[in-house]
Amino acid sequence: MNLALFEAELRRDEGVRYLPYLDTASPPRHTTGVGHNLEVSPLPAGWRFPLTDAQVTQLLERDISATLGKLDRALPWWRQMDEVRQRVLANMCFNMGLAGLLTFKNTLAAMQRGSYAVAAAGMKNSAWYGQVKQRAVRLCQAMETGVMPS
């Protein structure tokens, strides 16, 4: 997977914040950087706000690595999809966490068997779709077509 493209997509979808904020999750979580959940993973010792660009990048790289590792353990077939669809699945996992992603049982089964239009329809028919509409529209289109829209 092209990690530079994935990182750029996450920066666009999550935004970049140098100070902590409450995100829109229910219940709200303290977040910083590029969607970094401070309650799950506090800042390293000695770090202070505002974060630097280098610190934001370090957190993001660590979070991406953790997300991909979780996908490898839970859904080992995901690496067999083409790169665009891998990025869609990884983006969803980054956004809602592995536990949230795994609730998409029928959608994940459709992805695994290569029924990408069915998978995209399952993504559209979810609460997640309404919560992150702009992101979700783009990810659904990419899942269905195999091309990531701009």
pLDDT, block means (10 residues), the chain with 150 residues: 97 97 83 95 96 98 98 98 98 96 98 98 97 96 96
| pLDDT reported for residue 10 | 98
Q: Taking the domains of the chain in order of start, what are their residue ranges?
A: 3-145
Contact 31, 17 (CB under 8 A): yes
Closest CA to 137 of 124, 128, 150, 127: 124
| pLDDT reported for residue 145 | 98
Architecture of domain 3-145: Orthogonal Bundle (1.10)
| pLDDT reported for residue 23 | 84
For 41-84, the pLDDT digits (tens) are 999 999 999 999 999 999 999 999 999 999 999 999 999 999 99
| pLDDT reported for residue 92 | 98
Q: How far is CA 13 from CA 45, 77, 148, in A?
A: 28, 25, 13
